[in-house]
Chain A
Amino acid sequence: MGEKRKLGRGVCIVGAGMSRFDMYKDKDSKQLFAEAFKECIDSVDKGIDPKEIQAMWLGNFTNDFFIHQGHWGPIISDLLGLPPKPATRTEGACASSTLAVKDAAYAIASGMYDIVLAGGVEEMSKISTEAVSEGLALAGSPYEVYEGFTFPAVFGAIATAYFAKYGATWEDLNYVTVKSHENAKLNPKAQFNMTIKDIMNLRIEKYKKKGQPVPEWKDEYEALRDPRFNPVVAWPMRLFDCCPISDGAACVLLVAEEIAHMFTDHPIYIIGMGQGSGRALHDCPSLTSLEANKHAAKEAYEMAGLTPKDIQFAEVHDCFSIAELIHIEDLGFCKEGTAYRFVREGGTRLNGPMPINTSGGLKCKGHPVGATGAAQMVEVWHQLRGEAGPRQIPNGDLHIGASQNLGGTGGTCTFMIFSNEK
C-alpha cells in the first residue's frame, strides 16, 4: 500500500492495426476484425507467426443487442484460427477494448503468457438509430434512462452545468469540432475524413441540385450556428457535437518486454495504466468532472512516475464535444474551467502545445464502441513511431503519448500512458 504501482514485468506493443471505421452494409464483425488483425500482424517489423499468440482478450459492448449474437471471444478466436487457446471477452461499455488491453497486459505481467492479442469490435449500423440509442442506453444509469435521458442529453446537461459554472458557451465547443475534422481529413481510416468546409461544399451542391436556396456561410463557425446545417440533438448538443454510429475493429499485439526485440527494434512500452469507476449522474460529486477519470489518471501517473506535464499528446474519448473539455481538465492537461479557452486558442491542434485526438477522435474517426479504446492506441502507436504520415505531430522529440477511454456516462474510465523509450 502506498508504494509505486508497477507491473511484475514490462509489457510492450509490437503491432497494431484497425479497420476503417464506417457504416457498412456488406461487412460484419468478423470481416472487420480480420482486416484489423491482418494490418496488426503485418505491422510487426520482424514478423510474427500468428500461431505463436497464446491468448486473446476482446472488448465488445453489446453486439448481443445490436446483432443478437453474444460470446464474441471464441467467435473471433475461431475466425483467426487461434482455438483452443483462451479467448476472453471484456465489457466496460464504450471502454471495453481498453479493458481488454489492460487485462492482456496483466496476463503478460503475471508471467502466465508472453504473446497476447487484445482488441475490440462492434457492429452497430445494421439497426435503426432509435434501436442503437436504446442499445447504448444499456450502459446508462437506470435512473437517468428511466426519466428519458439519452446519452447526448447526459452530456448536454453536463454542458449546461459547465457553461453556468465557468462562463463558457456552446460556441466554444465548435473549436473542438473544427479541429477534429481537420485532423480526420488527414486520416484515411476515419469515417468522416473531411473538413467541415468539405461538408459545407457538399451541402451547397446538394441544395443547388435540388433548386433550394443556397446558404452563404462565411466560415465553418457560421455554418455550425445554422440549425439547417447543424440541428439540435439534445440541447445544447447539436449534430456536430455528437460522434456517429460506426462499425469497426482494432487490435494490438502485446508481448513481454524481454522478448520485444524478437519482433521489433521500435516497441511501444506501456508505462502507465489506470482505471476508475463512477456513479450515476445525480450522485456524482461534481457535474463538471468525472471522478472515475481522475482516479484512472492518478493510477496511471503513479505507475509511470509522471505528471500531466510529461504527456506530449493524447487521444481522449470525445463521444460529445463537451466530453473532450471535461477529459483534458480531469487528466490535468488544463486547470478546471479553462479547457475551453485552451482549445479556442488552438492549444489542442496538431501543431499546438498539446495535440488532442490527432486521429480525428470519436467524432470524426468514428465510434464502434467496443473497438474505440484499441483504436486510440493504434493512433498513439503510429504517432510514437513517427508513422502517422500527414497527421504526424510536428515534434522531433516525441516520446510520451496517452489514451483515455470512457464507458457509459463515466461509469468506467481508463487512462493509458505509452512511451517509445524504456
Chain B
Amino acid sequence: MEERYFNDISYKQFLNEERLMGSRCKGCGTLCFPPRPICTNCYSTDMEWAELKGNGKLAGFSSIFVPPAFMAEEGFDRKHPYVVGVVELEEGVRAVGRIVGVDANRPETIKIGTPVKAEFIHFGEGDQMRTHLAFRPVEGGAS
C-alpha cells in the first residue's frame, strides 16, 4: 500500500478497504487528513501513510431535507432526511461524513460533542465500488 500516491484517489481506495488513511510528513511530522502530496508546513514531499482510528466527537451537523440528485437516488427526500457532520478526530484533525444512527427527522435531539466512531458505506462492486465515510454515536458514550 505504501506505493500509492498521497492523493484523493488513494484516499477513496482506502475507504473501499475500510481504512481511514491520512499522510504524515517525514520531514516535520505534520498529519494531514485526507492525505496531501505536499506538506503545507515544510513543503517536503516525503510522506508516509498514517492510519486513523476513526474515533471522534461531533463538531457540527445538518439534517438535509432537500437532497442533491445523487442522494435522492438513494431514497432520501423531504420525508426521509439524512444527517451530515463535521467530526473532530482524536488524532487532532477533522473529517466530514454522514452521521448515522441518529434521528434525522428530530435533529434537535442530536448534540454537538457526541462521541462517534467511523463506519463505511459501500456502493457497487469491484472497479465500480465507491465508499462513503460515516460516523455513528458510540453506545453508552458520554455526550
Contact = CB atoms under 8 A, between A and B. Distances in A.
Nearest to A133: B68
Interface residues of B, number: 33
B37 interface: no
A142 B11 CA distance: 12
Contacts of B94: 282-283
Interface in A278-299: 280-283, 287
Contact of A164 (B72, B82, B95, B113): B113
Given A148-B71, A149-B96, A287 B62 contact: no
A147 B113 contact: no
Contacts, number: 103
A234 B64 contact: yes
Interface in B90-127: 93-98, 107, 112-113
A43 B34 CA distance: 51
A152 interface: yes
A154 B8 CA distance: 21
Nearest to B15: A146
A153 interface: yes
A156 B107 CA distance: 11
A234 B65 contact: yes
A137 interface: yes
Chain A interface size, under 10 / 10 to 19 / 20 to 34 / 35 or more: 35 or more
A137 B69 CA distance: 11
Interface in A125-154: 129-131, 133-134, 137, 142-144, 146-150, 152-154
A150 B86 CA distance: 13
Contacts of B71: 148
B62 to A, nearest CB: 3
Contacts of A147: 84, 96-98, 132-133
A353 interface: no
A130 B71 CA distance: 11
A135 to B, nearest CB: 11
Nearest to B8: A142
Given A147-B133, A156-B62, A281 B68 contact: no
A115 interface: no
A287 B59 contact: yes
Nearest to B104: A235
B34 A143 contact: yes
A160 interface: yes
A161 interface: yes
A56 B62 CA distance: 41
Given A143-B34, A146-B132, A134 B68 contact: yes
B139 to A, nearest CB: 22
A236 interface: yes
B68 A157 contact: no
A282 B68 contact: no
Given A147-B96, A236-B107, A157 B66 contact: no
B86 A157 contact: yes
B70 to A, nearest CB: 8
Interface of B: 8, 34, 59-72, 78, 81-82, 84-86, 93-98, 107, 112-113, 132-133
Given A156-B63, A237-B62, A281-B96, 13 more contacts: A147-B132, A148-B67, A149-B64, A150-B68, A153-B64, A157-B61, A157-B62, A157-B85, A232-B65, A235-B62, A235-B64, A282-B93, A282-B94
* Shortest beta-carbon contacts, A-B, top 4: A156-B62, A157-B60, A153-B62, A161-B60
16 contacts: A133-B68, A134-B68, A146-B132, A148-B68, A152-B66, A154-B62, A156-B61, A157-B60, A158-B60, A160-B60, A161-B59, A234-B65, A235-B61, A235-B62, A236-B107, A237-B62
